[in-house]
């Protein structure tokens, strides 16, 4: 892999590497880390609108819609409300979605422990602080 001074390129590479760790851990559950994260947010927010969920995830509504479709097709969530006004539709986690979320908890925790072991607590805290600063740019 070519080295680069470009911060964006390095962050994107790092994100892909971290995503692989979580995706590999969640593979047996049949979820990607993006899907698992979406279900976790949905469980915490209970019955958010599409707009509220998109904001919580840091996604545009159109991107969220593309992420919701496969989970809806699997019966892990459902949309309620006026189909003509996507912004105000509510997203609900189904019983199957809660079950899949529970199945993913242990693999997700294993990925967390693996990355913590790789970084150590101090570097993890530093990384989280730096990421928080970068998130505030947008």
Answer yes or no: is 133 within a domain.
no
Residues 6 or more apart from 92 whose CB is under 8 A from it?
42, 47, 77, 78, 79, 80
| CA pseudo-torsion sign 126, 132, 137, 138 | positive
Tokens 């692989």, residue located:
20
pLDDT at 88: 74
**CA torsion through residues 27, 31, 34, 38, sign:** negative
CATH of the domain at 42: 1.10.10.10
| 54 domain residue, yes or no | yes
Among candidates 118, 99, 100, 129, which has minimal Cα distance to 21? 118
129 lies in a domain?
no
Range of the domain at 98: 28-116
In a domain, 131, yes or no: no
Rounded distance between C-alpha atoms, residue 24 and residue 37, angstroms: 15
Task: Report how far residue 54's alpha carbon sits from residue 68's, in angstroms, rounded to the nearest whole number.
Answer: 11
Give percent above pLDDT 90 in the chain: 82
In a domain, 122, yes or no: no
> 12-71 pLDDT, tens per residue?
999 999 999 999 999 999 999 999 999 999 999 989 999 999 999 989 988 998 999 999
- Does residue 64 fall inside a structural domain? yes
- Report how many domains make up the chain: 1
| Domain membership flag for residue 66 | yes
Instruction: Tell me if 9 is assigned to some domain.
Output: no
Please give the pLDDT value at position 67: 93
**CA separation for the pair 61, 85 (Å, rounded):** 12
Percent of the chain with pLDDT over 70: 96
Q: What is the overall mean pLDDT for the chain?
A: 93
Tell me whether residue 25 is exposed, middle or buried, using C-beta atoms within 10 angstroms of its C-beta: 0 to 12, 13 to 18, 19 or more: buried
Strands 77-80 and 90-93: antiparallel
Which value, in Å, is the radius of gyration of the alpha carbons in the chain? Answer: 17
Specify the pTM. 0.88
């Amino acid at each position: 892999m070519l080295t680069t001074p470009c911060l964006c390129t390095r962050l994107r590479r790092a994100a892909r590497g971290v995503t692989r760790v979580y995706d590999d851990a969640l593979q047996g559950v049949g979820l990607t880390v993006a899907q698992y994260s979406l279900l976790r947010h949905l469980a915490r927010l209970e019955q958010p609108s599409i707009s509220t969920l998109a904001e919580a995830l840091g996604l545009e509504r159109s991107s969220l819609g593309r992420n919701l479709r496969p989970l809806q097709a699997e019966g892990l969530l459902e949309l309620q409300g006026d189909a003509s006004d996507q912004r105000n539709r509510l997203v609900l986690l189904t019983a199957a979605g809660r079950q899949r979320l529970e199945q993913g908890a242990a693999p997700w925790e294993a990925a967390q422990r693996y990355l913590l072991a790789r970084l150590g607590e101090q570097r993890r805290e530093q990384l989280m602080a730096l990421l928080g600063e970068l998130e505030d740019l947008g």
